[in-house]
Every structure is written in structure tokens, then in C-alpha cells.
Amino acid sequence: MNLILLLDDDFVDEGRRVVLRGRRLHHVLDVHRADVGKELLVGRLGGRMGHGMITSLSDDSLEMEVALFHDPPEPLAVTLVLAAPRPKVLSRVVSSVASMGVKRIFLVNAWKVEKSYWESPRFNEDHLWAQLILGLEQGRDTTLPVIESRRFLKPFVEEELPRIIEGTTPLIAHPSAGEEFPRGKTGPITLAIGPEGGFIEDEISMFRRAGFRPVRLGERTLRVESAIPALLGRLL
Amino acid sequence: MNLILLLDDDFVDEGRRVVLRGRRLHHVLDVHRADVGKELLVGRLGGRMGHGMITSLSDDSLEMEVALFHDPPEPLAVTLVLAAPRPKVLSRVVSSVASMGVKRIFLVNAWKVEKSYWESPRFNEDHLWAQLILGLEQGRDTTLPVIESRRFLKPFVEEELPRIIEGTTPLIAHPSAGEEFPRGKTGPITLAIGPEGGFIEDEISMFRRAGFRPVRLGERTLRVESAIPALLGRLL
């Protein structure tokens, strides 16, 4: 973790002193090999970032004085509409996109999404939250992304998406598209990405009717865990 | 697999008929649910690509007539110099970069690379070969990338790299660099990427003396498995 993320419950007096145990304590001990007096990068979930100085340290707790002076980095102006990937891939993708600054993710169903995926514990809220935290710690950010699941694609695309894409450029990744995915600082984008095997033609048509333009990334078809950072990397 | 990769040993008469068993047979049966008469995308490792028509099929073998008419896609003109990542990450990174068209990879040591990584079976040639094949099948390509390992960074950078970077732009990913990683179709690039935690300053200096320019990708520090596709995606 490049940043130690502090939760409201860590604070022992308002905004100045925190006590950490568990995973973050062990990380500080094992990876930072930190000691009393050492300063570490910290940030308050949903708040500002700064430094924390270790004031006491034992095998089961750590105390820091914190000073939070600056805002987290700007979000990446991309809303992801992602067909539910395999559960193991989902975990990696969620922490990866969180580390890149995405703040809004819709996990949606699609013809080629296996029904069983939705039953996986990796799709539950606590597990997704933990992956988001890992991503924020990696990318040094404190703004928690929001993930919402939609088990029915058609009503989502037809009834909800029109509001979601307002003020954004709606694009759908499609290997045989004629247009290339943009490169460089664009305005806000809503980006739809299909499952392994892709959206079927009916689904692509549905997104087109909702205003999405198909775009491709190079000549090769990539796995979702490579495709997503490859697409987002062009916007950084 | 988006392409069934054929090996020389699969051919029963020169260049026209192949017999498949094992992993590829099972993929055709379970994923393509193919039958006699069906055409599949095929390519010969190190050779051309085209179609194969299934002429016979049983539980333990499949025969195809193949016609290989076109060349594989152009390689991505990037030579990767990659500090050895954790073994599990290595496997994913190797198939990811193979799927994106990279053809030359040097796995190198660095101060922050754990010695034990090199002893992992995931670093052996057969395992790496299998990951490369998965990447080619994903990206629909037949040109096998070459991976070489260098356990000593200094002689590699000082003695070998000068020849390797000839005719390329040598860049090293570094979060605090002032210059941005390029975007768009550039000429050939040699790209050095550090381990988790980064190259140490001495190593960066060594690469600089060898002609490398530090470049960064956005404001956030990414894990190697996100950073590599994010960097390469800008060049696609």
C-alpha cells in the first residue's frame, strides 16, 4: 500500500490521532518496517490526505498523529459499465480500476455472463469494498468508488443509462468497430465493456440505440483484465 | 482462445491436415461446441493464419483440413525490460503482453526483486512458453515472443542494453518523472519497468547513463499488472 487509508473508526480524537490494528498494522511492521518517529503517507477515506507520524507501536496496535493537508487526486472522468467478469477476474479488475481513479462502476448482466457468477461471494458488497480499498491504497486516493449491480441489462440500458450518460461521451468497446478508442485528455466518458466473448449483436444494438458508439482498441482482442487498463491508460 | 494455435507436430501431411488432442480438443468441444463441418480460426506457430474445417471428431481427437492464407498481425514495436514480478503476477503479465503483440521481453533482476522469485517454477521455460501460447491464442497471433532472463542487472544494462536499444527510444517508467509516456503511434520503444516498489535511485541512474529517459503515466502509481497494459494501450 502506497497510502495508509484511515477510516472514521480509527480516529481516537477528532482528526488528529489514530490507532491501527490488523492488516494495516502488519503492513506497517512487515513492509515499511517502521518505528516510532517515522512518517507515513496517510489519507482519510472520503477526506483529505497528508502524513502520519508513528507515536507508539506494539505487536497489536500502532498510534499515529496525523496532519491531513491536501485533497485527493482528481477522479478519472470515466463511468464504467462492465459486464460481470469471472469472479476471480472481478476482484483484480475492481482494484485495478480503483487504482486508476474510476469512481463509478455498474456491473451488468449480459448474454454471455454465466449466471453462477452472481452467486459468488466475490460479488458481495464487503468483498468489493475490500478490493476498492486495495485500489485506493495503491493509487494514493481517498475517494471511494461506487459499484452498483444490475442483473437485468435491458431495463438498465433503456431506462437508467440515458440519465447516466448525460454530459458524457458514451462508447462501447467492440473489436470490429471502425472508430478507434480516443487517446488523450477527453471530456467525461461512459465506457461499456462486454464479457469474455463479447456482447452479442442484439446487446450492441441496444447500446447503440441508447446513443453508444462502438470503438475498438488496436487489432487484437484482449482479455478484460488487459483491455480495461489498456483503454483507461489512453486517457491518463 | 480466439485462435487455435497449431504446432508442427500437429500436422499429419505437410501443411494441409492436423490432428489435435488434449487442451485444444477440449476447448473446441466445450467452448466452441463444434462439430464436423464447422470452420475455426487457426494459425501455425511461427507461420500463417487462416481457417480449419473439422473433418472428424471424437472424444480423444479431432482432425481438421487447414488453409493458411494470411500473415499474422504486425508486432507491437516494444521491447520490454521488466524487473521480475511476483511469480503469480509474472504468468498473467506474460500472457497479457503476448496478447498485446510484444515480441521481446527481458526479465531482469533489481534491488527490490525477491531472490526467491527466480526459483519459482513459473520462471521456467516451459511455464513461460505456455503463458505465451495463451497470449497468442487470445490476441490471434502466431509469432512467438522471446523471453530472456538476466539475473545480474548491472552487466545487462551496461553491456547488453546499448545494442538492444539501437534504433529504439529507450524509456523507463518512473512515477516522479517530469515527462509523460508517449501516446499514439511512435517508432520502436524499449521500455523498462521496475518491480513493486520501483527501481531504486541507483538503478534509475544506471538506466539514465545507458540513455533511458524517465517517463510517467498519470498521477497514480499502478501495480505492474495494470501499469503494463496501461502503458502499451497508449501505443495501440
- pLDDT tens digits for A56-69? 999 899 999 999 99
Do A17 and A101 lie in one domain? The reply is no
Q: At what angle do helices B224-233 and B87-99 cross, to 10 degrees?
A: 10
Do A13 and A116 lie in one domain? The reply is no
Q: CA of B137: which chain A residue's CA is closest? A: A221
Check if A221 contacts B (Cβ < 8 Å).
yes
Residue that finishes a domain, picked among A48, A70, A92:
A70
* pLDDT of the residue at A184: 86
- Give the pairing type, strands B213-216 and B169-173: parallel
Do A80 and A172 lie in one domain? The reply is yes
* pLDDT of the residue at B233: 96
Do B82 and B66 lie in one domain? The reply is no
* pLDDT of the residue at B168: 97
Do A184 and A208 lie in one domain? The reply is yes
* pLDDT of the residue at A34: 84
| DSSP code of residue A37 | T
- pLDDT lower than 50: segments of chain A: none
A59 sits in the region (left: phi over 0; alpha: psi -120 to 50; else beta) called alpha
Write the residue in A138, A217, A226 that is nearest to B96 by C-beta. A226
CATH at A15: 2.40.240.20
| Contacting residues of B for A2, CB less than 8 Å apart | 221
Residue that finishes a domain, picked among B70, B90, B113:
B70
Check if B48 contacts A (Cβ < 8 Å).
no
Do A96 and A170 lie in one domain? The reply is yes
- Per-residue pLDDT in tens (0 to 9) along chain B, 236 residues: 899 999 999 999 877 999 999 999 999 888 888 899 999 999 999 999 999 999 999 989 999 999 999 999 999 999 999 999 999 999 999 999 999 999 999 999 999 999 999 999 999 999 999 999 999 999 999 999 999 999 999 999 999 999 999 999 999 999 889 999 998 878 999 999 999 889 999 999 999 999 999 999 998 999 999 999 999 999 99
Order across the sheet with A39-44: list the strands. A4-6, A39-44, A49-57, A62-70, A17-20, A11-13
Q: How many domains does chain B have?
A: 2
Do B182 and B103 lie in one domain? The reply is yes
Residues contacting B12, CB < 8 A, separation 6+: B18, B19, B63
Check if B219 contacts A (Cβ < 8 Å).
yes
Do B105 and B119 lie in one domain? The reply is yes
Cβ–Cβ gap B220/A92 under 8 Å: no
| Contacting residues of B for A234, CB less than 8 Å apart | 183, 233-234
Say what the ipTM of the complex is: 0.94
Do A104 and A43 lie in one domain? The reply is no
Do A201 and A135 lie in one domain? The reply is yes
Do B37 and B115 lie in one domain? The reply is no
pLDDT tens digit sequence for A139-154: 999 999 999 999 999 9
CATH at B93: 3.40.1280.10
Do B62 and B147 lie in one domain? The reply is no
Residues linked to residue A108 through DSSP beta bridges, in sequence order = A83, A150
Whole-number Å distance between alpha carbons of A90 and A81: 13
Q: By residue range, what is the domain housing residue A16? A: 4-70
| Contacting residues of A for B227, CB less than 8 Å apart | 229
Rounded (5°) CA angle B105-B108-B114? 130
Yes or no: say if A192 and A150 are a contact pair by the CB < 8 Å rule: no
Residue that finishes a domain, picked among B70, B103, B127:
B70
